Amino acid sequence: MKTIKVGLGTCGVSAGGEKTYEAIKHEIEKENIQVILKETGCNGMCYREPLVEVIDEENHSFLYGDVTPEKATRIMIDHVMKNMPVKEWIVQNSGPTEDDAFFQKQRRIVLRNCGIIDPNSIDEYIAVGGYEAIRTVIKKNTPEQVIDIMTKSGLRGRGGGGFLTGVKWKFCRQAEGTLKYIICNADEGDPGAFMDRSTLESDPHSVLEGMMIGAYAIGAEEGYIYCRAEYPKAVARLKHSIREALAKGFLGKNIFGSNVNFSIKIKEGAGAFVCGEETALIASIEGKRGMPRFRPPFPANKGLWDKPTNINNVETFANIPWIIMNGAEAFAAMGTENSKGTKVFALAGKIARGGLAEVPMGITINEIVYDIGGGIKGGKKFKAVQMGGPSGGCIPASMGDLQIDYQQINKTGAIMGSGGMVVLDETTCMVEMAKFFLSFTQEESCGKCTFCRIGTKRMLEILERITDGNGREGDVELLQHLAYQIRNNTICGLGQTAPNPVLTTLKYFPEEYEAHIRDKKCPAHSCAPLLTFSIQADACKGCTLCAKACPVEAISGEKKKVHEINVATCIKCGKCFETCKFNAVLKN
Amino acid sequence: MLQKEEIRKENTGSQFYDFKTELWKYQGEKGALIPLLQSAQEAYGYIPESAIDHISEVVEIPGAEIYGVITFYSQFRLKPMGKNIIKICDGTACHVNASTGILRALVDELQIGNDETTEDGLFTLQKVACLGCCSLSPVMMINDDTFGRLTPKKVKELLKEFRTKENA
Ligand SMILES: Cc1cc2nc3c(=O)[nH]c(=O)nc-3n(C[C@H](O)[C@H](O)[C@H](O)COP(=O)(O)O)c2cc1C
Ligand code: FES
């Protein structure tokens, strides 16, 4: 019998996957076809969603991309019923396709089961070796040995800080007290990062198993998953998975027949970026305002309800079962001197193939952007990649040969962060980008430290006046001065890193700031107040569309005659530019 | 397949079931304040003053402190919201893929600004940063459903669909 799998992660659903699923189901019922229809998560090829995989009787897989309900119906008839695969829609697994490049340089550990197993079925996870790691560990290893394996593997926390997981566990293990907690940080607040959501939706049990191993190592009997409210599907899957694990006796009292107890609770976030910071997250679980506090004491000694607490990120936990099963050496064999293993990157922005790619550390930016991501959308020029979200920075295309690991990225002034990679092209204004991030951090600042609360506001004001065409001489120096003050006078990572987007764009794109301030020009033609709109006489066909679209009647001209824009009335909204079908409107 | 309804049930079933029941079940467990506020919001669509009083009485936290918690988190509302919540993403990926144009289309179409509710009470518009669906940017969510690869035209069609459904 054939098996059909439909990718129904949030990305699949938002691309219309549910309608595709319904179409397939409808066809199965109508034609009474004997197949197994399943749901799966996301395999990372978000740019091809909705994805449908057909696995035939000989276990051959055919992966179809961009499957609309109409296409699904044809796949059901031609391939599933008549055994004639629809070659032109296949994106992977049967003969070479242009999409193969997306996977060639990947090495999948965290995403090992994503898009392959049914995330709603614990049995499928078990069938691919799931829960073997925790079973082995409880039977064969002491907690100290587990910590030793983690330390040897060189795994560093994937939530942003990049702290060695084994060392962190050791601190918590050694902390005084018998009551300890383990927390999974699923707050994923960095705009542009979505690997945690995808992992939770596509392979929730791997995260639960990683938490169990961590709990055993540090000696915790209670765990929390702090998941952001914007991820309803991930929360639902986690709740379902926890119930399944309880029913199997993998959670609860005496797990796997041992004397170890462990339970997991879910806490939903309430919409505050700063709650991703560990001490703020703890305050939030305790039911308070999510304000970070000064460290030390570190959570390892004084965390949730003042008890020793270990916090790790979703991706960190998902690595752990693999490391146990394959050994610390296998993990440490990948990557660079100081950054071992793989990292999942979320590719988005102006990239042709947006999605999730897991690659060994040490790969270059160019390899990710061009080989995996297929370069820039629409043939535009690659300008920079934004890494690390609001705490990170923009790395220019000229540094594309940079090998990605924690140290190398830090040297650029950006940070690895959670692995969001927003690719920017020549149409993105770097000053506007810096302003965008500053407005984000300014809004999300919890207000505790003066420099973060007011300093970011002042920086934002300066950036606003620069992009409005009112920049002054000395603004750049003022920005730099404020940036260093904010960095040095705040207690948590939010404030300390908030100036990074400004500092990196100043470092790599000083000429763009200059152009805005001195020449009152935006080289990327993106900052509206600095633009002048005009109509190119020889391209204008006199279709009148622009005149109709203009909200302030600034465009005049008769039908079939060249139109003109009255610069004095024009509010630079860009509607004419968007409407013109003949590219006759110029932005300068 | 975990259908939308099931996700709703999964998420509302145990935790939020009914605000009053939740309160009544409260046994002094620590850290219950935020889940209780979430359940009040789920039940009423916002957090009415009476709910703050109820919670305050039960968990023995002063109303002022609860108010402090409510205003800290962007999820909590002190005013009634529209029947459908539109969250338009202006995260990095959406921003560079012209989410401003999508927001403009929404504002044009609904005639309301960020954090406002339409007169007929059908829609509330909220600008958010990242819905975790960046590879399909620009993205918005209407209630618990995510819509990707938006264009101003698609937005208008979607709103029309919602309106027709509501009026039917
Ligand atoms: C402002 C701020 C936001 C953060 N957001 C997140 C987040 O969304 N997810 C996450 O895992 N870590 C986040 N972190 C890092 C956490 O504080 C913490 O270092 C991490 O969860 C530890 O896990 P790891 O060692 O596995 O990386 C954030 C830190 C700061 C300062
Ligand atoms: S930036 Fe819009 S969904 Fe992530």
> How many angstroms away from the CA of A287 is the closest CA of chain B?
4
Residue with tokens 């340089």: A105
Q: What is the pLDDT of residues A266-291, one digit of tens each?
A: 999 999 999 999 999 999 999 999 99
A358 CA distance to ligand 1 middle (Å): 19
Mark yes or no for CB contact B133/A273 under 8 Å.
Answer: no
| pLDDT value for A229 | 86
Taking CA atoms only, the protein residue closest to ligand 1 atom 6 is A276
Nearest-CA residue of chain A relative to B71?
A289
> How many angstroms away from the CA of B33 is the closest CA of chain A?
5
Pocket lined around ligand 2, Cβ cut-off 6 Å: A 191-192; B 89, 91-94, 130-134, 137, 139
Mutate to test the pocket of ligand 1, among A171, A268, A313 (most ligand atoms within 8 A of CB): A313
Q: How confident is the model at residue B21 (pLDDT cuts 50, 70, 90)?
A: confident
End-to-end CA distance of chain A: 61
Nearest-CA residue of chain A relative to B69?
A289
pLDDT at B8 > cutoff 80 = no
Q: What CA–CA distance (Å, rounded) separates A107 from A244?
A: 29
Nearest-CA residue of chain B relative to A6?
B1
pLDDT at A458 > cutoff 90 = yes
> How many angstroms away from the CA of A533 is the closest CA of chain B?
18
Mark yes or no for CB contact B134/A346 under 8 Å.
Answer: yes
Pairing relation of β-strands A564-565 and A342-349?
Answer: unpaired
| All domains in chain A, ordered by first residue | 2-98 (3.40.30.10), 122-332 (3.40.50.11540), 342-425 (3.10.20.600), 430-519 (1.20.1440.230), 531-587 (3.30.70.20)
Q: Give the one of A47, A269, A286 whose C-beta lies nearest to B135's C-beta.
A: A47
| pLDDT value for B22 | 76
With contacts defined as CB-CB under 8 Å, which chain A residues touch B148? Answer: 11, 14-15
| pLDDT value for A161 | 87
Mean pLDDT of A535-556: 93
* % of chain B at pLDDT higher than 70: 89
Q: Return mean pLDDT, chain A.
A: 95
Beta bridge partners of A164: A156
Q: Give the one of B4, B73, B91 whose C-beta lies nearest to A272's C-beta.
A: B73
B46 in contact with A, Cβ within 8 Å:
no
Peptide bond into A296 cis (omega under 30): yes
Q: What is the pLDDT of residues B41-73, one digit of tens each?
A: 988 889 999 999 999 999 999 999 999 999 999
Mark yes or no for CB contact A191/B2 under 8 Å.
Answer: no
Measuring CA to CA, which residue among A287, A307, A271 is closest to residue B60? Answer: A287
Find out whether the beta carbon of A193 lies less than 6 Å from any atom of ligand 1.
Answer: no
| pLDDT value for A573 | 85
| All domains in chain B, ordered by first residue | 2-72 (no CATH), 84-167 (3.40.30.10)
With contacts defined as CB-CB under 8 Å, which chain A residues touch B73? Answer: 270-272, 290
| pLDDT value for A575 | 86
Mark yes or no for CB contact B132/A231 under 8 Å.
Answer: yes
Q: Is A364 helix (H, G, I), strand (E, B) or coil?
A: strand
B113 in contact with A, Cβ within 8 Å:
no
List, in order, residues 6 or more apart from A486 with CB less than 8 Å away: A451, A452, A455, A456, A459, A495, A496, A498, A499
Taking CA atoms only, the protein residue closest to ligand 1 atom 2 is A277
Mark yes or no for CB contact A233/B74 under 8 Å.
Answer: no
Q: Give the one of B129, B134, B139 whose C-beta lies nearest to A440's C-beta.
A: B129
Q: What is the pLDDT of residues A208-240, one digit of tens each?
A: 999 999 999 999 999 999 999 889 999 999 999
Find out whether the beta carbon of A342 lies less than 6 Å from any atom of ligand 1.
Answer: no
Q: How confident is the model at residue B13 (pLDDT cuts 50, 70, 90)?
A: very low
Query: Apex CA A358: angle with CA A354 and CA A47, to 5°?
Result: 20
What does each C-alpha distance from A232 to A43, A122, A252, B30 come to in angstroms?
19, 20, 25, 24
B151 in contact with A, Cβ within 8 Å:
no
Ligand in nearest proximity to the CA of A11: 2
pLDDT at A4 > cutoff 60 = yes
Nearest-CA residue of chain B relative to A436?
B92
pLDDT at A88 > cutoff 60 = yes
Q: How confident is the model at residue B10 (pLDDT cuts 50, 70, 90)?
A: low
pLDDT at A12 > cutoff 90 = yes
> How many angstroms away from the CA of B168 is the closest CA of chain A?
22
Chain B segment 55-94 residues within 8 A of A by beta carbon are 68-69, 72-76, 87, 91-94
B22 CA distance to ligand 1 middle (Å): 31
Q: What CA–CA distance (Å, rounded) separates B36 from B160?
A: 35
pLDDT at B14 > cutoff 50 = no
Mean pLDDT of A418-422: 94
Q: How many contacts (CB atoms, under 8 Å) link A and B?
A: 164
Ligand in nearest proximity to the CA of B141: 2
B132 CA distance to ligand 2 middle (Å): 5
Measuring CA to CA, which residue among A346, A354, A358 is closest to residue A319? Answer: A358
Residue B89 CA, closest ligand 2 atom number = 2
Pairing relation of β-strands B123-128 and A393-396?
Answer: unpaired
Q: Is the dihedral of CA A258, A259, A262, A263 positive or negative?
A: positive
| pLDDT value for B78 | 94
Find out whether the beta carbon of A339 lies less than 6 Å from any atom of ligand 1.
Answer: no
Mark yes or no for CB contact A14/B136 under 8 Å.
Answer: yes
Measuring CA to CA, which residue among A187, A205, A198 is closest to residue A320? Answer: A205
A275 CA distance to ligand 1 middle (Å): 9
Nearest-CA residue of chain A relative to B9?
A236
Residue with tokens 């764009």: A505
A95-99, A115-119, A275-279, B95-99: the lowest-pLDDT one: A95-99
With contacts defined as CB-CB under 8 Å, which chain A residues touch B76? Answer: 270-271
Q: How confident is the model at residue A97 (pLDDT cuts 50, 70, 90)?
A: confident
Mark yes or no for CB contact A15/B136 under 8 Å.
Answer: yes
pLDDT at B130 > cutoff 60 = yes
Find out whether the beta carbon of A188 lies less than 6 Å from any atom of ligand 1.
Answer: yes
| pLDDT value for B15 | 41
DSSP string, chain B: ---HHHHHHHHHHTTTS-HHHHHHH--S-TT-HHHHHHHHHHHHSS--HHHHHHHHHHHT--HHHHHHHHHHSTT--SS---SEEEEEE-SHHHHHTTHHHHHHHHHHHH---TT-B-TTS-EEEEEES--S-GGG-S-EEETTEEE-S--HHHHHHHHHHHHHHHH-
Q: Are A193 and A387 in contact (CB under 8 A)?
A: no
Q: Which of B74, B99, B135, B161 to mutate to test the interface with A (most CBs of A within 10 A)?
A: B135
Q: What is the pLDDT of residues A336-353, one digit of tens each?
A: 999 999 999 999 999 999
Which bin fits A161, alpha (ψ -120 to 50), beta or left (φ > 0)? alpha
Q: Give the one of B4, B10, B132 whose C-beta lies nearest to A197's C-beta.
A: B132
pLDDT at A398 > cutoff 80 = yes
Q: What CA–CA distance (Å, rounded) separates A282 from A346?
A: 27
